[in-house]
Structure 1
Amino acid sequence: MNNHRDLPPDDPLRQALHDEVHARPSALIPLPALIAFVAVLNDGVDRAQELEHLRRLPGQADLQASDLNNHFLRLQLPDGRTLKWERHTEFTRYSLVQPLPEGMGLGASEPALHGTLALPPGWLNGIPGRTVAAILLAMVVADLPEQTADAQARLMRPAQHWFGDRTVVASQLGGGHSWAVTDFRLRASGFEHMLVVAPPDTSASRAGRISQRLLELETYRLMALRGLPVAKALSPMLAEAEARLAAITAQLEHKSLNEQDLLDQLVALAARVERATAEHTYRFAATRAYDALVAQRIGELRERPIPGTQTVGEFMRRRLSPAMATVAASEGRLGSLSERITRTSALLRTRVDIATEAQNQELLAKLTRGQELQLQLQTTVEGLSIAAISYYVISLLLYVGKGAKAAGLPVHPEMAAAALVPLVLWATWRTTRKIHEKLGGSLHPGQGGVKPPAPPAG
């Protein structure tokens, strides 16, 4: 045999992904058999706790932690019994398969199946976790009747009697190769009871597939329904939030109200909705996934009706669909509410932006008026400054003239000072203008004063 490998190196996940298809094979169940199935929520339960509990089973004291690495383990127990352990994301399943005790078949009426389980005392009660599903499934052997109403009624009578003559749900599986009967009721033991009637030639592999589909169907139904209490608890909050959002939106029509108050209310409402979304998104998504699995398992049963009873799939759809619709409606309301809050926030931001723009325009107008007044004041001050400077210059010239007259020069100081007034005024004004030109300003735009600053863009 040629074992030469002529391939690139494996992706690190290749082996695990390849083996996933073989991860949870159906059990081989020789009939008649009794299956005790328990599914527990494993939140807060680690594998070490589950390993320690599995070691309490007969002959399993040497179990190692590595035996639980693949999320699936089948243990061989004494007397032909097997126990299967499976760990999923939210729950762990334990399935005990043992021969059906005598007197528990079709001739019995409400058989005490719980008392016949071959397990150590207290083992079931000690399973770590919280029970979400517990089923006792009896698989018996009998010749199936022909496809006539009378023949099927003759088999239904002992099957219904097995459930204490209560109303049951029943269907033919796989197009008629076996029957499944149940009443979907919890007993005092905490278990539901199911009954499968199969012909004597049913193979162990087919019996294993039948049991797996029925047990998974009920487990996924119960896991899907975990979203219903969440949806019901969320409904009052959604109604209150929707009313509050409607009130905030109505207040946006009144311009006299304070935008900051509206924004504070909207932020508080948005935080409340986002918190609810974060807390419940996973539960709603899980509910959708479990509901899809329920529909898939119902399809795999390939049911045929039995006259006078509802099929398992019909019963499931009638009871499960309203609950799933309620969950979907709550999820939709939560998403819609979040989107509406986003739109309202956008409207409020637009209103705040418009109000801010108006305030900016008003501020700019005030600044412009202030600058004009400042310019006028500055012009007046500069005019007074020219007159004052000219006055002091002329006074100095007058003193110079008086000094010259006192020195004997033929000068008339007052007349000389009067004659120099226009020249001094012109010289002072000219000097002031040159100073402004040197500093880059002008008294008036284009005429030598201080140019008012341009308003900011926008």
Structure 2
Amino acid sequence: MSSISDHPLRYKLANELHARPFPSMKAPCSAAYVAIKQPEDAVSRDRAQDLAHLTALLDRHGAPHPQPGATHYYGQIGKYWLKWEQHTEFVTYTAFSDGVVARPFDPAEFDVFPSDWLENAPGQRMTSILLNIVPRPAEDVAVTGSLDEWFVSESLAASEVLDGAAIMAGDFRIDLNGHLRFAVFAGAQTGARRIGRIVQRLCEIETYKTMSMLGFARVRALQPGLNELDTKLTGLMGTMSDERASAEETLHDLLSISAELETLSARSSFRFGATGAYEALVDQRIAALREERFQGRQQFGEFMMRRYAPAMRTVHSAEARLEAMSSRSIRASNLLRTRVDVERSAQNQTLLESMDKRSDLQLRLQRTVEGLSVVAISYYAVSLVGYLLYPLTQATGMSKGMLTALATVPVVLLVWWLVRRLRKSVE
């Protein structure tokens, strides 16, 4: 086989597809999950802090450290297995242990994450989950009894997933201990890796749902400002049709509104884009579970359609509104700028006409002065010619006055012709 040089990133890129395997979990077991996000006002996310925070947790249990610059980790800490993942905006910790839990959703299961360690986290908790994974009872009545005991029925979503491999349930409510609850009833034939995939997807659905709701919160904060700017923009566009209003002042106000809209758009573009991406991930994770109805209860997809989708439509509507307002302000500014240019052209035309009149007056004055200059030059020229002709008085018998009179007309005509020729050559 002929040798060929590999791209330096070939193996790294190929291994990235296998770097984050699903956890392997056997029923019965429990899991604790937390997602931490650095504050919105952080200038830039420091990934080294996330890695240092993970290392601090591992040191408490004497567990080996991840590789430098790692974005994922899987290892054992005490009786738990820990799965850590670093994402674009947040990091997640999943700790799970095998065995029967004496008390379902016992908050003590979250003690794997010490309180002082959580207080020193480089960010804020976006969501935390307690998961209870138990074998599926032979009778569905037992499942119904557990669901009625563990969850709020009004918002409970429960469905069979992966062709009947398990039943998953949750009410998406935060309990008194600050955690959400999800339950998985795994079938007898369901393998450990499949259970791990179900648990992983449940955590991802909740995390991506929460992250996408940040866009909804951003829209609520933007709504009063958008309403105010929309009112101003509509008023200014009405002012444009009033010929008595100053076009330049209206243009200045329009440009100010356009600048505010562009600033809002720039500050919100990332959050709106991230919201759309997270929404797509939520839909994909739910679709991958292949839900089937369980005892007539609402499915996760139906819950999202009724409770989650309206919030996402609000975000998309606000994004479209902001873009439409920005485009409208730009179009209005262009129209008003055209009007200002036309008015300035009219003013320039008036100014040019005034300059033409001044030039005409100046030309007339120049011609008047030119006539006077002919007279003045002729006067001095006749005097000089007279001095030249005075010696001829004795030869001709003419007086000096007669000779001067005879020379005046030719001299004046000659001076006039020379001045006119000079003016034509200049023009």
TM-score normalised by length of structure 2: 0.91
Deviations 1:397-451 (A, max 9, x none): 456666765x7973311222222221111111122234335xx23xxxxxxxxx4
CA distance in 1, matches of 2:158, 2:53: 35
CA contact under 8 A between 2:105 and 2:130: conserved in structure 1?
A: no
Per-residue CA deviation, residues 268-291 of structure 1 (Å, 9 max, x unaligned), is: 111111110111000001000000
Aligned partners of 2:46 and 2:397: how far apart in 1?
123
Alignment counterpart, residue 409 of structure 2, candidates 416, 422, 433: 422
Q: Which whole-Å CA distance do the structure 2 matches of 1:91 and 1:117 have between them?
A: 19
Match of 2:65 in 1: 63
Aligned length: 419
The equivalent residue for 1:75 is 75
Q: Which residue of 2 aligns with 1:15?
A: 11
Cα RMSD over matched residues? 2.3
Deviations 1:355-397 (A, max 9, x none): 1211221122122222221221111111111112222333444
CA distance in 1, matches of 2:305, 2:2: 51
Question: Is 2:50 the counterpart of 1:50?
Answer: no
Checking the alignment, whether the CA contact within 8 Å between 2:53 and 2:121 is kept in structure 1 is: yes
Give the gaps of 5 or more residues in structure 1: 105-110, 146-151, 442-450, 452-458
Secondary structure of the equivalent of 2:6?
A: coil
Among 332, 357, 363, the alignment partner of 1:375 is: 363
Q: Distance in 1 between matches of 2:340 and 2:413?
A: 56
Describe the shift of the 1:53–1:419 C-alpha distance in structure 2 as closer, same or farther (beyond 3 A).
same
Q: Deviations over 1:26-47 (max 9, x none)?
A: 0111221101000010355532
CA distance, structure 2, for counterparts of residue 351 and residue 165 of structure 1: 63
Deviates more, 1:90-99 or 1:304-313: 304-313
Corresponding residue of 1:143: 137
1:95 partner SS: strand
Unaligned runs of 5+ in 2: 40-44
The change in CA–CA distance for 1:125 and 1:385 in structure 2 (over 3 A counts) is closer
Q: Is the 8 Å Cα contact of residues 398 and 413 (structure 1) preserved in structure 2?
A: yes
Distance 1:136 1:204, change over 3 A: same
Distance 2:9 2:276 in 1: 28
Percent sequence identity is: 35
In the TM superposition, what is the alpha-carbon distance from 1:114 to its structure 2 partner?
1.5
Asked whether the equivalents of residues 38 and 90 of structure 2 are also in contact (C-alpha less than 8 Å), the reply is: yes
- Of residues 236-245 and 88-97 in structure 1, the stretch that sits farther from structure 2 once superposed is 236-245
Distance in 2 separating the partners of 1:366 and 1:154: 98
Cross-structure match for 2:31: 35
Distance 1:226 1:118, change over 3 A: closer
Q: Is the 8 A contact 1:85 1:92 kept in 2?
A: yes
Which residue of 1 is the match for residue 185 of structure 2?
Answer: 197
SS in 1 for 2:172: coil
Secondary structure of the corresponding residue to residue 179 of structure 1:
strand
Query: Which residues of 2 match residues 161-310 of structure 1 at below 5 A?
Result: 161-163=149-151, 168-310=156-298
Structure 1 range deviating more: 283-292 or 252-261: 252-261
> Which structure 2 residues correspond to residues 269-418 of structure 1 after superposition, within 5 A?
269-398=257-386, 410-418=397-405
Whole-Å separation in 1 of the counterparts to 2:381 and 2:78: 128
Q: 1:332 to 1:420 in 2, by over 3 A?
A: same
Q: Are 1:42 and 1:130, in contact at CA under 8 Å, matched by a contact in 2?
A: yes
Once residues 409 and 238 of structure 1 are traced to their aligned partners in structure 2, the CA distance between those partners, rounded to angstroms, is: 106
**Is 2:126 the partner of 1:113?**
no
Q: For the Cα contact (< 8 Å) 1:144–1:198, is it kept in 2?
A: no
CA contact 2:32–2:109 (8 Å) conserved in 1 = no
- 2:85 paired with 1:92: no
Give the 3-state SS of the residue equivalent to 2:137 in structure 1.
coil
Q: Structure 1 length as normaliser, TM-score?
A: 0.85
TM-aligned CA distance change 1:244 to 1:23, over 3 Å: same
Cα shift readout 1:26-82 (whole Å, capped 9, x = no counterpart): 01112211010000103555324324423333122x525xx1534110012233x21
> Are the counterparts in 2 of residues 35 and 138 from structure 1 also a CA contact under 8 Å?
yes
State which drifts further: 131-140 or 383-392: 383-392
CA contact (8 A) 1:305 1:311 kept: yes
* Larger helix fraction of residues: 2
| Distance in 2 between residues matched to 1:387 and 1:77, nearest whole Å | 117
Structure 2 CA distance for aligned equivalents of residues 179 and 238 of structure 1: 44
Instruction: Name the stretch that deviates more: 409-418 or 336-345.
Output: 409-418
Alpha-carbon deviations, 1:112-145, whole Å to 9, x = none?
A: 5111456274344544321001000010013354
Q: Give the AA of the match of 1:411.
A: M
The farther-off stretch of 424-433 and 230-239 is: 424-433
